[in-house]
Amino acid sequence: MQNGEINKIWELLNTVPDPEIPVISVVELGVIRNVTFTDNCYVISITPTYSGCPAVKAFQDDIKVCLKENKITNFKLKIVYSPAWTTKWMSTETKEKLRKYGIAPPSDTVICPQCNSEKTTLISDFGATACKALYKCSDCLEPFEFFKCI
């Protein structure tokens, strides 16, 4: 019974998109660390991607709305810092979703998401969001964003 309910919570969380990269969910992003059920309450443990990322606050609000819309009110969100979030938690499928969306997924070699060339140059370590860097492709000349490995 309880396990089934917890799986249901995971399924619902998997429908909450990342506010800045809406092609992946907060579950795929790897920020939901755990869901437990204690004292008649679901405890959802969340870890921030970057300390100051404004999306962290935004997706906490989105999670609350999503659960309430599904008539779940007995839950708490808990922020955990350890272990620190890492892009290693991202699955191959998630990385492919990023690539199709035009963002080079985290990897040792930065590959252009447009033409798959490995000849790319760093423009800046910092991009439009904390998690991304700016690159340029030397073959197709398109600029693109790279999801930083941390």
Partner 1 sequence: MTSLLIYTLRIADSSLILAQRMAEWCAKGPELEEDIALSNISLDMFGQANGFYEYASQLDGSKSADDLAFLRNEREFLNHQVVEIENGHFGKTIVRNFLHDAFKFLFFTKLSESKDETLAALSAKSLKEVKYHLRHSTNWLIRLGDGTEESNAKVQESLEQIWQFTAELFEMDEIDTELLNLGIAVDNKALKTQWDKTVNSTLKKAKLKRPEDGYMATGGKKGMHTEYLGFLLAEMQFLQRAYPNAKW
State yes or no: residue 21 binds partner 1 (CB under 8 A). no
Tell me the per-residue interface mask from 41 to 60 with partner 1, x by CB under 8 A, - otherwise.
Answer: -------x-xxxxx------
Helices in the chain by DSSP H: which ranges?
A: 2-13, 26-29, 54-69, 92-101
Instruction: Give 94 or 129: the residue with its C-beta nearer to partner 1.
Output: 129
The site for partner 1, by CB under 8 A, has a size of 22
C-alpha 36/C-alpha 3 separation (Å) is: 9
Q: Which of 6, 23, 123, 140 binds partner 1 (CB under 8 A)?
A: 123
State yes or no: residue 83 binds partner 1 (CB under 8 A). yes
C-alpha 150/C-alpha 55 separation (Å) is: 17
State yes or no: residue 125 binds partner 1 (CB under 8 A). yes
Instruction: Give 2 or 81: the residue with its C-beta nearer to partner 1.
Output: 81
HSE toward the beta carbon, residue 82, CA cutoff 13 A: 0
C-alpha 98/C-alpha 109 separation (Å) is: 15
The stretch among 33-41, 75-83, 93-101, 113-121 that binds partner 1 (CB under 8 A) is 75-83
Cβ of 58: how many Cβ atoms within 10 Å?
A: 13
